[in-house]
Structure 1
Amino acid sequence: MEFRNLGRTGLKVSVLSYGAWVTFGNQVAVEDAKVILQACRDAGVNFFDNAEVYAGGRAEEVMGEAIKQLGWKRSDIVVSTKVFWGGHGVNDRGLSRKHIVEGTRASLQRLQLDYVDVLFCHRPDESTPVEETVRAMNFLIDQGLTFYWGTSEWSAQQITEAWKVANNLGLVGPAFEQPEYNLFHRERVEVEYEPLYKGYGLGLTTWSPLASGLLTGKYSQGPIPLDSRFALPDYKAMGERKLKLISKVEALKPIAADLDCTLAQLSIAWCAKNPRVSTVITGASKVSQVVENLKAIKVLPKLTPEVMERIDQALQTAT
Structure 2
Amino acid sequence: MKKVFLPLAGIIFSSSSFAQVQKIERPEIIKKLPATTTPSGLVQGKDLTIRIASFQLDPANGCAIHVNYVVKNNGTEAVDLNNVSVQAYLDDPQTRPTVTPPTYLFNGKYCYAAGGHALASFSTMLGPGQEKENTLHCFNLDREHYFNTSDNYTYTLVVDKANIIAEANENNNTAVSTFRGYLGQYPAALPADQYYLSNAFLILKTGADNKEKESEVNIRVIPSTTKNLTDTYNEFIKKVAKNETEFYSNASQTLPLGLFMSGTSYLTNPATSMAAFNQNGLGLVVEYKANFLLDAWKIEQAQLVLYFKDVNGLVHPTQGVKIITFNMPANTFLDGFAKHYLVCKTDNALNPVNIKVIEKLTSY
Q: Which has the higher strand share?
A: 2
Calculate the TM-score normalised by the size of structure 1. Answer: 0.26
Q: Which protein, 1 or 2, shows the higher relative CO under an 8 Å CA cutoff with sep ≥ 6?
A: 1
Calculate the TM-score normalised by the size of structure 2. Answer: 0.23
